Copies of this chain bind each other. A is one copy, B any other.
Amino acid sequence: MGYAAFLERMGEVNDLLNAKSILNWDARVMMPPGGAETRAKQLATLSVLARDHLVADRTRHLLDEAEAETQGLPPESIERVMCAQVREAIDYHLRIPADLQQRRAELGSIGQDVWAKARAASDFAAFAPILEETVALNREMAEHIGYDAHPYDALMHRFEPGETVATLKPLFQSLRDGLLPLLRRIAEAPPPRIDFLQRPFPKEAQLAFGLKMAAKLGYDLSRGRLDTTVHPFEVSFTRQDVRITTRINENWMPMSLFGCLHEAGHALYEQYADPAFTRTPLATDLIGLYAVNGVSFGAHESQSRLFENHVGRSRAFWEANFGEARAAFPGLLDDIDAEIFWRGVNRVSPGFIRVEADELTYDFHIMLRVDIESALIDGSLRVSELPEAWNAKIREYLGLEVPNDRLGVLQDVHWSSGQIGTFCNYTIGNVMAGQLYGTAVREPSVAAGLAVADYAPLLGWMTGHVHRHGRRHSRDELLVQATGRRLDPAPYVAHLQNKYSEIYGV
């Protein structure tokens, strides 16, 4: 009885957070411009009420009862895992003073405006005071959250529980060692053709083809929908309603296509979670206050990267699906074959902008940000030194001279909303994707399916090893169960080395 009432209470928290997600989706996809100001207030109210509902006396009383009722069960039982996660989340939120939360929310609401103007004017000095305050608030936040070795660890906890500056260091070193020499050799080699990807691909046909390929991977449209937005994303309102968005460039077809596959990868994680977890803590990020089935931001990114890059940019995918691409765009690809297409969509092109980066250079954009963020937080880097530090890393990694701060340190929205600690997720997602994919394809049925555009065996493997479990296990528990190892960059580095050696003949 106590446990059931506790679960229903947590269902309400999940409902509130899903409501918030729906309001966010609507704001980004459907809302007329006039609605922005009052929508922000509605979102703020839902955030506060969800948090208050979670930490309320009533919830804690029900949690006490649920813990008492389930104490005879093994610690790894679903019931006890749920109780433990809720207990941890309540403790987490109660450690952060209300006024600090409030100050951070206020900073976030003014920061985005300041940042947008500073970016437009490429004027770092105009944004620096906001960033100073963001860093100060996050350091304060870190002290309240608590950490063993480095304050940045406390900030990453919300997005990637268990990840630390100490664990990231060797990971990043492996990536640099494995990828920088490859990148140098590629820079000297002749690039594959991409001209045919710049042909005038009609908007509607691009959307239809992207959605068709997403559905082929397993994205279930009876529980989803595709729309267009400026900044594509995936969001779920329980596993029963998981939506994706993409953006379209009529003269650069890979944007919408791989956008669809990327967001579909995220969506699969949500759609194939265990239905029994719906509305429970195992479908709710109670630390980040976000209704999501995926266990960490990195784990979530592993699925988007896996379906976008390991599947969607593989030679096998285009050998099996190029005919469909031709049929989807009559006349536009008649002189191209699967091999040329595959090479084209894998072109490496070092650039300034993270969100436009290719598969091989992407992690360098991430490592630079994580290193800078952690140095800002531990005080070894000052905000005033940031542009120079940024530009030096871009020079070191990509051999480019950043011409202005708009294309450099001012490009990302994250800091303007008061957020520090989330960038590592992208690279962890890449590494996890390589590790999971490398293990999955050793399964004969998975490998056989990939050759004939049957993705059900791969989806089945991912569902069984990842999606189904929702937030029950930690990211590393998942990895050990699925691949026998904790996070390990070797398969990911090998994947990149193999693919790009072949494409660039290096």
Copies of this protein chain in the complex: 2
Give Cα A18–Cα B46 distance, bound, in whole angstroms: 11
Contact with B along A35-63 (1 / 0, CB 8 A): 11111011011101100010000000000
Q: Are A45 and B15 in contact (CB under 8 A)?
A: yes
A34 to B30, alpha carbons, bound, how many Å?
20
Smallest CB–CB gap between A287 and chain B, Å?
21
Please give the distance in Å from A41's CB to the nearest CB on chain B: 6
Segment at the B interface, from A81-89, A237-245, A382-390: A237-245
Q: Does A419 contact B (CB under 8 A)?
A: no
Q: Chain A binding site: helix, strand, loop or mixed by DSSP?
A: helix
Q: How far is the CA of A33 from the CA of B48 in the complex (A)?
A: 30
A77 at the interface (CB under 8 A from B): no
Q: Is A278 part of the contact surface with B, judged by Cβ < 8 Å? A: yes
Q: Is the CB of B11 within 8 A of A241?
A: no
How big is the A interface, by class? 35 or more
How many angstroms from the CA of A297 to the CA of B23 in the assembled complex?
26
Q: How far is the CA of A11 from the CA of B40 in the complex (A)?
A: 12
Does chain B have a CB within 8 A of A477? Answer: no
A221 contacts across to B, CB distance below 8 A: 32
Contact stretch, chosen from A114-122, A222-230, A354-362:
A222-230
A26 located at the interface, meaning its Cβ lies under 8 Å from any Cβ of chain B in the complex: yes
List B contacts of A53 (CB < 8 A): 49
Q: Does B18 lie within 8 Å of A241, measured CB to CB?
A: no
A 266-280 to B, binary, CB cutoff 8 A, 1 in contact else 0? 000000000000110
| In the complex, A19 has a CB within 8 A of chain B | yes
The answer on a CB contact under 8 Å between A225 and B279 is no
A32-B222, A32-B224 known; A240 vs B37 contact (CB < 8 Å): yes
Q: List 30 A-B contacts (CB under 8 A).
A: A11-B41, A11-B45, A15-B42, A15-B44, A15-B46, A16-B45, A16-B49, A19-B42, A19-B46, A22-B22, A22-B26, A26-B26, A30-B225, A31-B241, A32-B221, A32-B222, A32-B224, A33-B222, A34-B220, A34-B223, A34-B224, A35-B223, A35-B237, A35-B241, A38-B241, A38-B279, A39-B237, A39-B241, A41-B279, A42-B237
Chain A interface (Cβ < 8 Å from any Cβ of B):
11-12, 15-16, 18-20, 22-23, 26, 30-39, 41-42, 44-46, 48-49, 53, 220-225, 237-238, 240-241, 243, 278-279
